[in-house]
């Protein structure tokens, strides 16, 4: 590895950012642009990433198919070159929020399937299609976004008691927890499968990120965090970029927390 400045220069590197138009994804995409990466954003919209240097948008819906993912990655590599990095921070949006946030006793199998397939199955298809190409080239880094509630700790439902956003009660749905936990397990499995081929796979579990939630929710969440506050989105972007770079060349199979110390309690 050369000096630090060189390690964070992504010139001639093609990075796919799935969910790159979202709150966290767009912040990562903007940071990669400043580091000279060629970013390919896969998402349903592009309103947060317009007019950013070296950013290219490909519309993708929530229903991935094996053939569809292959065609997209074929097109990316034909037009922009081999994919060096994948950051997956796409989260499935639900058709019916009332069903999504319903109690375990009322949770429908169709809602369960919608979230688990959207979060976990889509991650697998994208990681496999891009990862196997990285394996053939003996280089590459994959970073999957999980959640603190899908890792070593379960959801702290006390945070959500009697809190709401836009007059809707808030909670952490069981399908979200399970699907994000599956992404962590998938990341570890892929990491051990591909390490000898020079491909690294890691996961990130962010804590709560401020996004104009209600004051009561922010207060309830912040009271459970040693730092006493929610994260700002800018505090999330450094770790995935570090994990893409050669600065983390001996790190694979890890699930790293950005949670203000919440998991330490």
Q: Tell me the HSE value of 210 on the side-chain side, using a 13 A CA sphere.
A: 15
Candidate from 58-72, 115-129, 182-196 with smallest mean pLDDT: 58-72
- Residue with the bigger pLDDT between 224 and 157: it is 224
The answer to whether 209 and 231 are in contact (CB under 8 A) is: yes
* pLDDT surpasses 80 at 138: yes
For the residues 104-119, what does the mean pLDDT come to?
92
Q: Quickly list DSSP for 51-79.
A: T-TTEEEEE--S---HHHHHHHHHHHHHH
Strands 168-169 and 164-165: antiparallel
Phi, psi for 200 (deg, rounded to 5): -105, 145
Give pLDDT tens digits for 2-41: 588 889 999 999 999 999 999 999 999 999 999 999 999 9
* pLDDT surpasses 70 at 170: no
The answer to whether 22 and 47 are in contact (CB under 8 A) is: no
Q: Give pLDDT, residue 164.
A: 55
* pLDDT surpasses 60 at 189: yes
- Residue with the bigger pLDDT between 194 and 64: it is 194
Ordered by where they begin, the domains of the chain are 4-259 (3.40.50.720)
* pLDDT surpasses 90 at 93: no
Q: Give pLDDT, residue 235.
A: 98
């Amino acid at each position: 590895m050369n000096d630090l400045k060189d390690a964070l220069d992504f010139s001639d590197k093609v990075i796919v950012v799935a969910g790159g138009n979202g709150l966290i994804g767009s912040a990562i995409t903007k940071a990669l642009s400043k580091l000279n990466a060629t970013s390919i954003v896969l998402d349903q919209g592009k309103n947060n990433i317009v007019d950013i240097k070296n950013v290219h948008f490909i519309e993708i819906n929530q229903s991935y198919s094996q053939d569809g993912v292959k065609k997209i990655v074929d097109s990316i590599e034909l037009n922009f070159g081999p994919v060096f990095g994948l950051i997956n921070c796409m989260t499935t949006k639900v058709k019916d929020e009332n069903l999504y946030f319903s109690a375990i006793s009322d949770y429908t199998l169709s809602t369960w399937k919608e979230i688990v397939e959207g979060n976990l199955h889509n991650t697998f298809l994208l990681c496999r299609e891009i990862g196997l190409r990285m394996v053939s080239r003996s280089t590459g880094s994959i970073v999957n976004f999980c959640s603190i509630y899908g890792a070593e700790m379960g959801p702290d439902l006390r945070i959500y008691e009697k809190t709401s956003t836009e007059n809707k009660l808030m909670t952490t749905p069981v399908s979200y927890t399970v699907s994000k936990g599956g992404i962590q397990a998938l990341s570890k499995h892929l990491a051990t499968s591909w390490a000898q081929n020079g491909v690294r796979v890691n996961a990130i579990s962010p804590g709560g990120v401020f996004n104009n939630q209600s004051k009561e929710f922010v207060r309830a969440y912040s009271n459970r965090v040693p730092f006493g506050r929610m994260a700002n989105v800018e505090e999330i972007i450094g770790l995935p970029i570090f994990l893409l770079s050669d600065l983390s060349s001996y790190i694979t199979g890890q699930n790293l927390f950005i949670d203000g110390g919440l998991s330490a309690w």
